[in-house]
Amino acid sequence: MEKINRIGVLTSGGDSPGMNAAVRAVARTAVNSDMECIGIRRGFQGLINSDFVKLDSVSVGHTLSRGGTILYTARSEDFLTEKGRKKAVTTCKMLGLQGIVAIGGDGTFRGALELSRLGIPVVGVPATIDNDIGCTNYTIGFDTACNTAIECIDKLRDTMQSHERCSVVEVMGRNAGFLALYVGIAVGATAVLVPEHPVDFQKDVVERIQDSRLAGNTHFMIVVAEGAGSAVDIGKKIHDSIGMEPRITVLGHIQRGGAPNARDRETATRMGYYAVRAFAEGRGNCIIATQEGSIVEIPIEEALQRKKHLQMDRYRIMEAMQVGRVRHIEE
């Protein structure tokens, strides 16, 4: 790969806490590596529309603690077309971009792969609250989103306890249950429903509420991953099964907002640094990932083929924490 003098950086797909820390790290590492850094606004659509801003050490100052993304983000229908992708490449050439750092999730990386096939080197940085990228143990934003959900559920528990009620809380996660299970363990949920575990409503919800009530509890917390079903539907089933009137809360996009916590700021900074160093040292077309606490580079095509499976030992731990009888912990 030729010497890199100018790179672009973009954020795409759903925003997550820590994206700004990653952008900051990319910009400052680029400057300190004698590269120019151009921020592409609104994701891949910004490459098509030539929507950009020059970044330097000063312009990314005071962004480390900010949620969201200063570059904005969007899902680009135009980029899904061959015409749109060619226009994006034309923009890269016009701006003299010799590489792109793409910060986002699976869809972002698939877009980055298309750019690489058209001759634009790319490096991906995984940032999604879903934590569902197969090649990396951790994605930027997950821990902050978990803590946001935990804070909300703790507050809900206070009022559920006061009124002796059942609460059904739906958290995000797309088609993965990482967020729901992590949060469910942390808040001591009565039950957690995740898409990776087939739901037996009688055993997984009804009997757990009944066992908890027989043990003396008068309030119950059910955490549902959005990929496992609707909290509204789960609430109706609880009502039909045992006559209880659950209160439904869908946390929604509040989980994406807020200042990133220490883990997400530090991880984003390391990932952004190593993304630029990959270009500086003549490498590209890879994803920056964490594995066992270390930063590694994985070829982008290989990275997109990897799958991440929910750690079912955590599900068994969650079951073991239940009040009352637990009849179906499986090894």
Strand order in the sheet with 286-291: 52-55, 36-40, 6-11, 100-104, 122-126, 286-291, 294-299
Out of 15, 106, 130, 132, the active site residue is 130
pLDDT of residue 161: 85
- pTM score of the predicted model: 0.94
What is the DSSP-derived secondary structure letter of residue 227? Answer: G
Dump pLDDT digits (tens) for 50-87.
999 999 999 999 999 999 999 999 889 999 999 999 99
Q: Which residues contact 294 (CB under 8 A, 6 or more apart)?
A: none
CB 151: neighbour CB atoms within 10 A? 13
Instruction: Outline which parts of the chain fall under CATH 3.40.50.450.
Output: 6-141+260-305
pLDDT surpassing 50 at residue 207? yes
Across the chain, mean pLDDT equals 94
Token representation of residue 213: 């009530």
Q: What are the DSSP E strand ranges found in 196-268?
A: 220-225, 247-250
Rounded-to-integer distance, Cα 325 and Cα 210, Å: 10
Question: What letter represents residue 183's amino acid?
Answer: V
Rounded-to-integer distance, Cα 238 and Cα 210, Å: 11
Max intra-chain CA distance, the chain: 70
User: Hey, is 141 helix, strand or coil?
Assistant: coil
pLDDT of residue 3: 87
Rounded-to-integer distance, Cα 263 and Cα 192, Å: 25
Looking at domain 6-141+260-305, does it have CATH number 3.40.50.450?
Answer: yes
Classify domain 144-256 by CATH architecture.
3-Layer(aba) Sandwich (3.40)
Task: Give the residue among 21, 68, 23 at the shortest CA–CA distance from 257.
Answer: 68
User: Hey, is 222 helix, strand or coil?
Assistant: strand
Pairing status of strand 247-250 against strand 191-193: unpaired
Question: What letter represents residue 108's amino acid?
Answer: T
Average pLDDT for residues 236-257, to the nearest whole number?
A: 95
pLDDT band at 209 (very low <50, low <70, confident <90, very high): very high
pLDDT surpassing 50 at residue 331? no
Average pLDDT for residues 101-118, to the nearest whole number?
A: 97
Instruction: Outline which parts of the chain fall under CATH 3.40.50.460.
Output: 144-256
Rounded-to-integer distance, Cα 169 and Cα 60, Å: 36
Rounded-to-integer distance, Cα 66 and Cα 130, Å: 19
Q: How far is CA 13 from CA 182, 194, 235, 304, in A?
A: 23, 23, 30, 16
What is the DSSP-derived secondary structure letter of residue 39? Answer: E
Q: C-alpha 13: how far from its chain's center? A: 10
Q: Are 19 and 103 in contact (CB under 8 A)?
A: yes
What are the φ/ψ torsions at residue 45 (nearest 5 degrees)? Answer: -65, -30
What are the φ/ψ torsions at residue 21 (nearest 5 degrees)? Answer: -65, -35
130 is catalytic: yes
pLDDT of residue 329: 46
Average pLDDT for residues 151-176, to the nearest whole number?
A: 93
Q: Are 17 and 261 in contact (CB under 8 A)?
A: yes
Average pLDDT for residues 280-284, to the nearest whole number?
A: 95
Higher pLDDT residue, 322 or 321? 321
pLDDT surpassing 60 at residue 98? yes
Task: Give the residue among 297, 233, 284, 287 at the shortest CA–CA distance from 92.
Answer: 284
Percentages of the chain per state (helix, strand, coil), in multiples of 5: 45, 20, 35
pLDDT of residue 145: 98
